[in-house]
Chains A and B, each alone.
Chain A
Amino acid sequence: MADHSHGSPEQTGTVAKPGQGGVQKFQDPGLPPHRPRLADTDPRAEKRAERQVGVLFLVSIFGTVLFFFGYFAIPLDQTIGTLRLQNLLLGLGTAFAMLGIGVGIVHWAKTLMPDHEISEDRHEIRPEADRADAEKIVGDILEESGIKRRPLIRNTLLGASILAIFPAIAIFRDLGPLPGDVLRQTMWDEGVRLTRDPSGTPIKASDVTIGSAFHVIPEGLNESEHKLEEKAKAVVLLMRLKPESLNPSPGREDWGFEGIVAYSKICTHVGCPVALYEQQTHHLLCPCHQSTFDLTQECKVIFGPAVRPLPQLPISVDDEGYLVATSDFQEPVGPSYWERG
Chain B
Amino acid sequence: MSSSAAGREYQPKTSVGKITNFVDTRVGGSAMVKEFGRKIFPDHWTFMFGEVALYSFVILLLSGTFLTFFFDPSMAETHYDGSYVPLRGIEMSVAYSSSLDISFDIRGGLFMRQVHHWSALLFVAAVSVHMLRVFFTGAFRKPRELNWVIGGVLLILAMAAGFTGYSLPDDLLSGNGLRIIDGVIKSIPVVGTYISFFLFGGEFPGTEIIPRLYVLHILLIPALILLLIAIHLFLVVVHKHTQFPGPGRTNDNVVGFPVGPVYAAKAGGFFFIVFGVVAAISAAFTINPIWNYGPYDPSPVSAGTQPDWYIGWVDGALRLMPGIIAGFPFEWEIPFPWGVNTLSLNVLLPALVPAGIVFTMLFAWPWIEAWVTKDRRERHLLDRPRNAPTRTGVGVAGVVFYCVMWAAASSDLIATHFMVSLNDVTYWLRALFFIGPVIGFIVARRIALALQRKDREIVLHGRETGRIVRLPHGEFIEVHEPVDEYKRYKLTTFDSPQVLPAQADVNGHITKGEKRRAWASRFFFEDRVAPVTPAELEEAHSHGHHGEVANEHDKASISSH
Contacts and interface: CB of A to CB of B under 8 A. Distances in A.
A150 interface: no
B353 interface: no
Given A125-B239, A179-B197, A334 B183 contact: yes
Residue of A105, A173, A273 contacting most chain B CB atoms (<10 Å): A105
Contact of B277 (A99, A291, A339): A99
Contacts of A281: none
B273 A271 contact: no
A165 B303 CA distance: 46
A340 B342 contact: yes
Contacts of A113: 261-262, 265
A339 B298 contact: no
Nearest to A1: B547
Contacts of B546: 1
A341 B341 contact: yes
A30 B255 CA distance: 11
Contacts of A164: none
B529 A337 contact: no
Nearest to A21: B530
Interface string B464-504: 10000000000001101000011011001100101000000
A124 to B, nearest CB: 9
Interface in A9-45: 9, 13-16, 20-32
Nearest to B456: A14
**Best-surrounded residue of B279, B298, B493, B534 (most CB of chain A within 10 A):** B298
Contact of B299 (A121, A198, A336): A198
A97 B273 CA distance: 10
A307 B346 contact: yes
Contacts of A99: 272-273, 276-277, 280
A203 B320 CA distance: 38
A197 B301 CA distance: 13
Given A21-B530, A23-B533, A273-B301, A177 B202 contact: yes
A138 to B, nearest CB: 19
B104 A120 contact: no
Contact of A118 (B84, B255, B282): B255
Contacts of A125: 143, 238-239
Contacts of B273: 98-99, 102-103, 106
B205 A290 contact: no
Contact of A29 (B251, B283, B333, B486): B486
Contacts of A228: 205-206, 296-298
Contacts of A226: 203
B304 A287 contact: yes
A44 to B, nearest CB: 23
A115 B356 CA distance: 46
A269 B350 CA distance: 12
B529 A270 contact: no
B327 to A, nearest CB: 12
A198 B247 CA distance: 72
B281 to A, nearest CB: 8
Contacts of A340: 341-342
B208 interface: yes
A98 B270 CA distance: 10
Nearest to B112: A90
Nearest to B175: A228
Contacts of B114: 87, 91
Interface in A105-121: 105-106, 108-110, 113-115, 117-121
A263 to B, nearest CB: 14
Nearest to B462: A1
B357 to A, nearest CB: 18
A176 B197 contact: yes
A228 to B, nearest CB: 5
A211 interface: no
A13 B535 CA distance: 12
Contacts of B258: 118
B232 interface: no
B222 interface: no
Contacts of A310: none
Given A24-B533, A307-B329, A335-B347, A273 B254 contact: no
B78 interface: no
A146 B9 CA distance: 49
B247 A20 contact: no
B477 A1 contact: yes
A272 to B, nearest CB: 6
B315 to A, nearest CB: 8
A28 to B, nearest CB: 6
Interface string B289-321: 000000011111111110000000001001111
B284 interface: yes
B322 A117 contact: no
Given A31-B255, A102-B272, A24 B535 contact: yes
B493 A25 contact: yes
Interface in A263-282: 265-266, 269-273, 275-276
Nearest to B535: A24
B190 interface: yes
A197 B298 CA distance: 11
Interface string B395-423: 00000000000000001100000000011
Contacts of A272: 176, 179-180, 183, 301, 305
B298 A336 contact: no
Given A76-B83, A87-B114, A119-B255, 4 more contacts: A121-B252, A226-B203, A232-B298, A338-B190
Interface of A: 1-4, 9, 13-16, 20-32, 71, 76, 78, 83-84, 86-92, 94-106, 108-110, 113-115, 117-122, 125, 172-173, 175-179, 182-183, 197-198, 215, 217, 226, 228-229, 231-233, 235, 265-266, 269-273, 275-276, 287-292, 301, 303-308, 334-341
Nearest first, the 3 closest Cβ-Cβ pairs linking A and B are: A91-B283, A270-B183, A1-B547
